[in-house]
Amino acid sequence: VLTSKKTDIKKAASLLKKGELVAFPTETVFGVACLANNFKAYQKLNKLKKRPPHKPYTMMVKDLVMLNKYAKVNKKTLAFLKKFMPGSITVLLSSKASTPKWAKEDNIVGVRIPSNQEALMLLEEVNEPLLVPSLNRSGDKTVNKISDIQKQFKNELSAVIEGEVKDNIPSTVISLVNDIKIVREGKVPSKQLIKEYNKL
């Protein structure tokens, strides 16, 4: 178990760079991460999640500059993202060629910039995108207590960063591939997102 101190975040980042899996709190649920560009690490993540390989994970990035490297954004989309990111929304966008093929489906990638400190510090330190689903086996509830995480995933995780998940509500998922479309209701009310998008 690592703390959110800088030295520990550095340790977690170096484990991720070696292709290991690391769990950490986000502002929505506990997530488990691997380096987005590392196929072997991605396979490890699939094994832990017990998830079919054709279903891509959310790509977490540290800022809009990094997001722009992997997803196509126009002026309107960028103005919208500036309002809601960092935050509890995941946005589906058309991917760029630089996005690894296992991180997208039909050339669409789901991206998110988290707003909590631990996640942002880790992304800053790794300085690469991470694939971050919720920490659970596919179809099970998310695991948010450190003791439960250690019990359930002890041999599969190289590190767990301490921290608190306040309400365990997942992010709201929207698609901005053509127009705005709500994919999953979550922490940010979809009405608010639609309203703001239509204003732009």
Task: Band the pLDDT of 37: cuts 50, 70, 90.
Answer: very high
The 8-class DSSP code of residue 39 comes to H
pLDDT at 177: 96
Higher pLDDT, 143 or 46: 46
pLDDT at 100: 96
Whole-angstrom distance, CA of residue 154 vs CA of residue 3: 17
Peptide linkage before 133 cis (omega within 30 of 0): no
As a whole number, mean pLDDT of residues 27-33 equals 90
Residues β-bridged to residue 25: 30
Q: Do the strands 89-94 and 108-112 form a parallel or antiparallel pair, or are they unpaired? A: antiparallel
Amino acid 178 reads N
Confidence check: pLDDT of 38 > 90: yes
pLDDT at 55: 83
What average pLDDT is seen over the chain?
93
Place of tokens 């301490």: 162
The 8-class DSSP code of residue 106 comes to T
Residue 88, SS3? coil
pLDDT at 2: 80
Confidence check: pLDDT of 121 > 90: yes
Q: How far is CA 32 from CA 24, 133, 137, 152, 175, in A?
A: 6, 6, 11, 13, 23
Q: What is the CA radius of gyration of the chain?
A: 16
Q: What is the pTM of this model?
A: 0.93
As a whole number, mean pLDDT of residues 80-108 equals 96
Closest CA relative to residue 98, chosen from 57, 59, 48? 59
181-184: strand order across its sheet: 159-160, 22-25, 30-35, 130-131, 59-60, 108-112, 89-94, 172-175, 181-184
175-194: per-residue pLDDT in tens?
A: 999 999 999 999 999 999 99
Task: Band the pLDDT of 88: cuts 50, 70, 90.
Answer: very high
123-177: per-residue pLDDT in tens?
A: 999 999 999 999 999 888 888 888 889 889 988 999 999 988 877 788 999 999 9
The beta strand positions in 95-160, using DSSP E, are: 108-112, 130-131, 159-160
Confidence check: pLDDT of 83 > 80: yes
